[in-house]
Amino acid sequence: MQMSTEDLTDLQRAKQVLENPILAVKITNIIGSPIEKGMDLLPDKWSEAVSHATKKALDTALDVALLTLDKDSGGQAQNIWHKVAVGVSGGVGGAAGILGLIVELPISTGIMLRSIADIARGQGEQLNLPEVKLACIEVFALGGTTSKDDASESGYFAVRAALAKAVSEAAEFIAERGIAREGAPALVRLVSQLAERFGITVSEKVAAQAIPAIGAVGGALINLLFIDHFQDMARGHFSVRRLERKYDPATVKAAYLSLPNK
C-alpha cells in the first residue's frame, strides 16, 4: 500500500526530529560553553549518582504510566503547564547541584511523561493499553543511542529494535498480571535498558548545570530544553506509530529509510 503525499510529509518531519536530536547543541547555546567543560567540573563518582537518579526516575515514570495515564481525563493537551512545572523543578535542581538531581529528576520525568502521554493521545493512541503505556516510557530512550546498537539501522529504528524484546516481555507481563511490580524481572530489564540511553541525555543536563553561575535560573532553562527534547521525540515517535497503524510497520519503515535525512 503506497503512502499518501501528506503522510510522507508527516513521516519526513518525524524523521528530521528523530534522526537529528540536538539537545546538546541547544544547551551549549544557552550556557555559552561546551558541555564537556561541565563534565570536567563534576565531582568524583558523579556517573554513579546519575545512574542512580536515572533508574529511580524511570521507576517512578513506570509507576505513573501503569497507575494513572489511562485515568487522565484527556481533552486539550497541557504541554505549556508541563513546561512550567518542569522549569520550576529544574530551578530547584540547578540551585542544589548534582545532589538535587536525585530529588528533582524523578519529579521532572513524571511531569514529562504526562506531556508525552498527551502527545500520544493526540496521535490516536489508547492509553489504557499496556503496549501504549510502554511506548510512552520508550520515548526516554530516544536521542541516546549506544555502541551496542546496530549500525546498519537508522538511529530511531535501532533503538526500537534494541528495546523490542524488553518492551514485548514487559507488555506481556502487565497484560497477564496487571500493575503489580514485585517479582517482575521483565520490568526490571526494561528499566535497565531504558536507563542506559536516558542516562546519556541526563548526563548532558547534569554537565550543563555544573557550569559555574548556572544556578536556579540556568537550571530552569536547561530543564525547559530537556522537556522540549522529549516532546519533540514523542511527536516523531507517535507520528510513526500512527502511520504504522494506518499502513503497516514494514511499509512505514521502508518509506522512512528511503527519505532523506535533512
The grid coordinates listed for 121 are: 493521545
For the residues 28-40, what does the mean pLDDT come to? 63
Q: What is the DSSP letter of 69?
A: G
The residue with cell 500500500 is 1
% of residues, the chain, pLDDT over 70: 71
pLDDT digits (tens, 9 = 90+) for 52-83: 888 988 988 888 888 877 765 444 445 554 44
Most confident region among 7-16, 99-108, 148-157, 176-185 by mean pLDDT: 7-16
Nearest-angstrom CA–CA distance, 234 and 135: 9
| Residue 248, SS3 per DSSP | coil
Helices (H), 123-248: 130-138, 155-177, 185-209, 215-246
Question: What is the band of 84 on the pLDDT scale with cuts at 50, 70, 90?
Answer: very low
Better pLDDT: 17 or 90: 17
**Would the pLDDT of 90 be above 50?**
no
Listed residue (54, 151, 180) closest to 108, CA to CA: 54
- The answer to whether 72 and 111 have CB atoms below 8 angstroms apart is no
Return the minimum-mean-pLDDT range out of 3-7, 23-27, 155-159, 243-247.
23-27
For the residues 77-90, what does the mean pLDDT come to? 48
pLDDT for the residue numbered 33: 59
Listed residue (215, 245, 8, 28) closest to 123, CA to CA: 245
- The answer to whether 195 and 222 have CB atoms below 8 angstroms apart is no
**Would the pLDDT of 94 be above 50?**
no
**Would the pLDDT of 93 be above 50?**
no
Beta strand spans in the chain (E): none
The structural domain count of the chain equals 1
Question: What is the band of 49 on the pLDDT scale with cuts at 50, 70, 90?
Answer: confident
**Would the pLDDT of 88 be above 80?**
no
Buried b (16+ CB within 10 A) or exposed e, 34-73: ebebbbeebeeebeebbbebbbbbbbbbbebbbeebbeee
Calculate the average pLDDT of the chain. 79
Better pLDDT: 182 or 163: 163
Buried b (16+ CB within 10 A) or exposed e, 217-241: ebbbbbbbbbbebbbbbbbbbbbbb
**Would the pLDDT of 214 be above 70?**
no
Return the minimum-mean-pLDDT range out of 79-93, 94-108, 211-225.
79-93
**Would the pLDDT of 254 be above 90?**
yes
Q: What is the pTM of this model?
A: 0.83
pLDDT for the residue numbered 16: 92
Nearest-angstrom CA–CA distance, 44 and 96: 17
Q: Which domain holds residue 120?
A: 5-258
**Amino acid letter for position 107:** I
Nearest-angstrom CA–CA distance, 114 and 153: 29
For the residues 161-182, what does the mean pLDDT come to? 84
Q: What is the DSSP letter of 259?
A: S
